[in-house]
Structure 1
Amino acid sequence: MAVEAEAEVEEGGAKPTKAGLPRKLIIFAAAGLLVLIAAGAGLYFFVFAGRGATDPAAEAHAVADTFIFNLPALTVNLNDDGAEGDQFLKLTIALEVADESVMAEIQPRMAKVVDAFQVYLRELRKSDLEGSAGVYRLKEELRRRVNLAIFPAQVEGILFKEILVQ
């Protein structure tokens, strides 16, 4: 009986092992699969995002609808604030307009546009034109002044063809 009791204890104490993959391996494989799916979806949206949303022909047509109106080159003395030597600004500008009718409206008012530019440019200092921020401020101020001079017509943008500060 004692031998039978020991045999029962040994059989009851030992648990049978399951055949198959360990639990940690299954968890890591599932996590890896999720990472691969997420990376694939991200790559798909990155590569194909926005396709079909814009039509290149429509963009080209929109760009072609603007016209360029060239102004004569302007050369002005800059405000020197007592600095030694003269400082000059040579500027060649083109106006971007929506259509040819605006170009026809600008032509008779060209003297007003050049006058508005000359008055503003003569008050600039060399330090006002330094860096991209200075050039951007110059562009926006000239756009504002030309739109005032040719009102009710409007200019879409100012294009600098040449900027020389000396």
Structure 2
Amino acid sequence: MAAAKAEKKAEGEGGEAPKKGGKKKLILMLAPLLLLGIGAGLWFGGILPKLLGIGGAHPEAQAEAAAQAPPAPTPAFIDLPEIVSNLNVPSGRRASFVRLRAKLEIADSTQVPAVTEAMPRLVDLFATYLREVRPDELRGSAGSHRLREELIARASVAASPARVTDVLFVEILVQ
């Protein structure tokens, strides 16, 4: 009996063995999570990449690279002469005309002389295209968008090697 009482005392009052190292297990499980959280905070805060030298050059190296890089080309705008053209109408209907004033946007301002030399070709291509357009094709924003896309394609061909990035309408009048 004395042995049974001693055994009960060792097991505890609930009949279970006493827990040994419960706090140690908790610390061993939470320590990696805590370290991981601190590391993530330092990484996304930008402190850890700076300490490790990861994620970009030093400010002096960035300044040198910016000084050595060629300047970005500046766009330029060139006025097109006013184009008045008759539109393609079915026979028996009243004649219809379009008056177009536009500007060409080119990617590099150093290409302005090349585009101005090609201006007669540009005007001819635009007028020829406008003669084939029907009045109902120019109605609404979708018609303007289609016209712009067609004129950009023709301008890119005519002004090559200069790159025409957009045709900006100043005035479109359909009568």
TM over 0.5: yes
Q: Runs of 4 or more off by more than 2 Å in structure 1?
A: none
Q: TM-score, normalised by structure 2?
A: 0.57
Q: Aligned partners of 1:83 and 1:96: how far apart in 2?
A: 39
How many residues of Structure 1 are paired with residues of Structure 2 in the alignment?
A: 104
Deviation at 1:66, TM superposition (A): 1.9
RMSD of aligned alpha carbons: 1.6
* Matched position secondary structure for 2:89: coil
Q: Give the AA of the match of 1:155.
A: V
* Matched position secondary structure for 2:161: coil
2:107 to 80, 86, 98: 98
Q: Aligned partners of 2:118 and 2:171: how far apart in 1?
A: 23
1:112 to 118, 121, 130: 121
Q: Deviations over 1:59-92 (max 9, x none)?
A: xxx8x93211001010000011124221000000
Asked whether 1:88 is paired with 2:97, we answer yes
Unmatched 5+ residue regions in structure 2? 1-71
Q: Deviations over 1:107-132 (max 9, x none)?
A: 11111111110110000000110111
* Matched position secondary structure for 1:147: helix
Q: Aligned partners of 2:133 and 2:110: how far apart in 1?
A: 32
Asked whether 1:162 is paired with 2:171, we answer yes
The percentage of counterpart residues that share the same residue type is 41
Unmatched 5+ residue regions in structure 1? 1-61
Q: TM-score, normalised by structure 1?
A: 0.59
Check 1:65–1:83 CA distance in 2 against 1; reply closer, same or farther (3 A cut). farther
Aligned residue for 1:153? 162
Q: Aligned partners of 1:146 and 1:105: how far apart in 2?
A: 12
2:81 to 72, 80, 86: 72
